[in-house]
């Protein structure tokens, strides 16, 4: 049988997570750890949806595990795998640019106007593919 975990140990584990999410560009992050009778345990991370107009527009990531250590490990792995704040902004911009190009094509906008946008999208895509940030210690 494993040693029971204390509330202090739970706080020590989850308290750094909002700062880790902020470091990845997530706004107003919050973390909840939940123990549910007959259902198990979960750790939920929440942050404001990027470029949202309302404070209640949030994104979530729920982690389920057999114990607290497993939930915490999965949460930290999830955060480490998130793109950097800069990369997330670039991805968002590329998505908007792609939609703008598609809208232009749908509206029959002259190729002379669309080609510079398409060229920009190609250059951005190549930069994303070849992006290799230096390892941080």
Quick: pLDDT tens for 38-82. 888 999 999 998 877 888 899 999 999 989 999 999 999 999 999
Q: Examine residue 16 and state whether it is found in any structural domain, yes or no.
A: yes
Same domain, 48 and 111: no
What is the per-residue pLDDT for 100? 81
Q: Is 62 helix (H, G, I), strand (E, B) or coil?
A: strand
How would residue 109 be classed by pLDDT, with cut points 50, 70 and 90?
confident
Is the model's pLDDT at 128 over the cut of 70?
A: no
Confidence of residue 137 (pLDDT cuts 50, 70, 90): very low
94 in a structural domain: yes
Q: Are 71 and 10 in contact (CB under 8 A)?
A: no
Domain count within the chain: 2
Q: Is residue 13 part of a domain?
A: yes
Beta carbons of 126 and 90 less than 8 angstroms apart: no
* Residue-wise DSSP of 120-134: HHHHHHHHHHH--PP
Cα-Cα end-to-end distance for the chain: 36
Q: What does the block give as tokens for 83?
A: 């793109």
Query: Are both 43 and 70 inside the same structural domain?
Result: yes
Is the pLDDT at 119 greater than 80, yes or no? no
CA dist 64 → 26, 37, 43, 79 (Å): 21, 14, 7, 15
């Amino acid at each position: 049988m494993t040693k029971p975990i204390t509330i202090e140990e739970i706080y020590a584990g989850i308290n750094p997570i909002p700062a880790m999410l902020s470091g990845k560009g997530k706004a107003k992050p919050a973390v909840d750890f939940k123990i549910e009778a007959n259902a198990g345990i979960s750790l939920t991370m929440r942050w404001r949806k990027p470029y949202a107009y309302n404070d209640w527009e949030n994104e979530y990531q729920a982690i389920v595990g057999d114990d607290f250590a497993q939930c915490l490990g999965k949460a930290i792995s999830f955060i480490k795998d998130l793109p950097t704040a800069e990369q997330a902004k670039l991805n968002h911009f590329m998505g908007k640019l792609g939609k703008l190009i598609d809208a232009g094509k749908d509206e029959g906008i002259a190729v002379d106007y669309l080609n510079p946008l398409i060229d920009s999208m190609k250059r951005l895509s190549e930069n994303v593919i070849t992006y290799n940030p230096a390892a941080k210690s």
